[in-house]
Structures are given as structure tokens and as C-alpha cells.
Amino acid sequence: MFFSAKPVDEAVFDELRREAAQKGDIVVLPQIFEHYDNITHQTLEILRAASMDALATHALKVSVYKTHVLANKLQVDSSL
């Protein structure tokens, strides 16, 4: 699942809603606007939403700024 705060730009928000409907793997947090000042609130809402999903086992918070996730380097903990 991917979580996103609500974009300020309505055109971007429309595109995000279309992709969410098409892919089914995006959760938009409509009560939070995408803005640097809301990062803490966004993170808490993502963790809250993930904690309510019985299938969620991990959460990874990344920013669009200078973030590189090397998925092939992530390790799976087989003791879970």
C-alpha cells in the first residue's frame, strides 16, 4: 500500500484518485494536505492506518526528496 496526503493542486489530486481507483493500492489521507509542515502528522496517520490493517507487517516512510529505496537490499526476517 502507498499512502499520500491530499495534494494541494486539484489536477494532481484528480490524477492520484484515478490511479488509486485503477491500481487499488493507494490510500489518500484526505484530511491532511501535502505540505512540509504536515510531515509529522502525515507519518502518524500512515502508521495509524497501517496499524489497523491486519495484513500489514512493515511500514516504510520515504520522502520524494533525496530518497532512494533499494528494494533488493531489504532483508526479510524469517523469524516472524
- Tens place of pLDDT for every residue, the chain, 80 residues? 788 889 989 999 999 999 999 998 888 888 888 888 988 898 898 888 888 888 877 777 777 666 667 777 666 665 55
Task: Give φ, ψ of 55 to 5 degrees.
Answer: -90, -15
State pTM to two decimals. Answer: 0.64
Measure the CA–CA gap between 80 and 69, rounded to whole angstroms.
Answer: 22
Cα Rg of the chain, angstroms: 14
Q: What is the pLDDT of residue 66?
A: 67
